[in-house]
Amino acid sequence: MREASELLRGLRTGVAGQPHSPFFLVIAPFVTHYKAMRTAIYPGSFDPFTNGHLDVVQRASRLFDRVIVAVAKSDGKHPLFLIEERKSLVEQSIRGMRNVEADTFDGLLVNYVEKHSAQAVLRGLRAVSDFEFEFQMALMNRKLNDSFETIFMMPKDTYTFLSSRIVKEIARLGGDVKQFVPDHVQAALSVKLGLKKDKESPKSVTQTGAESAS
């Protein structure tokens, strides 16, 4: 608030009491808007994006001017979907949300956050079991870069049991995941797992065990 009132006073008086040029008066509102922009990064493996993730994004989009769902490469977790596939599933899920976008990143999260001048990193917190890992990650990120905050958001209570890992397991075993993921994610799971079954790839079984719980 103080920042805004100082800016308004500056607009009236200009430098050393002189009025500002017309050009400055025209661009000033945009400069003000840019300064006030609040960006949040929502990082994750999103393998695949679930209704729980979507719920967090919807809540965040009401709090921040810009929300970037940042799909991590997460090679070490041997994801089922390729990074571009995961990004595409996010894009289809956020269609129509004007201040939300999807992106991919590789490397340190703190570098990505800095590159986008974001003020916050968002993480969904479902249960106490999530807390230890999330706490460690948030504090480590703060050690690496103290210029942003990690904010934990609780998804709707009906999603507290939901995870990408469980969704994949249910789908793989022929269960119905309709209520847990957007329709296009369900379709993508069927195709992906169907293809894998056709090929009878033993590698896909190994990959399953190493996937993350998120």
Interface with ligand PNS (CB under 6 A): 43-45, 72, 74, 108-109, 137, 140-141, 212, 214
Q: In this complex, which beta carbon is closest to ligand PNS, that of residue 28 or of residue 130?
A: 130
Min dist. Cβ of residue 198 to ligand PNS (A): 28
Nearer to ligand PNS, 141 or 186 (CB): 141
To the query of whether residue 33 is one of the catalytic residues in this protein, the response is: no
Q: Which of 66, 87, 123, 126 is flagged as catalytic?
A: 126
Q: Is the CB of 20 or the CB of 101 nearer to ligand PNS?
A: 101
Tell me the H-state helices in the chain.
Answer: 2-13, 22-36, 51-63, 83-93, 109-115, 128-144, 164-172, 183-199, 202-210
Active-site choice (61, 163, 164, 214): 164
Which residues, including other chains, have CB under 8 Å from residue 192's CB and lie 6 or more apart?
A: 80, 81
Set 45, 66, 74, 77: catalytic member: 77
Q: Is 165 annotated as catalytic? A: no
Whose Cβ is closer to ligand PNS: residue 61's or residue 74's? 74
Residue 12 CB, nearest approach to ligand PNS (Å): 45
- The residue annotated as part of the active site, out of 45, 53, 74, 168, is 53
Q: How far is the CB of 205 from ligand PNS (least distance, A)?
A: 20
Closest distance between ligand PNS and the C-beta of residue 30, in Å? Answer: 33
CB count in 10 Å sphere of residue 1: 5
**Per-residue b or e along 193-213, where b marks 16 or more CB atoms closer than 10 Å to that residue's CB:** beebeeeeeeebeebeeebbe
Structure tokens at 39: 């960006």
Q: Which residue(s) pair with 72 in the sheet?
A: 105
Catalytically annotated residues:
53, 77, 126, 164
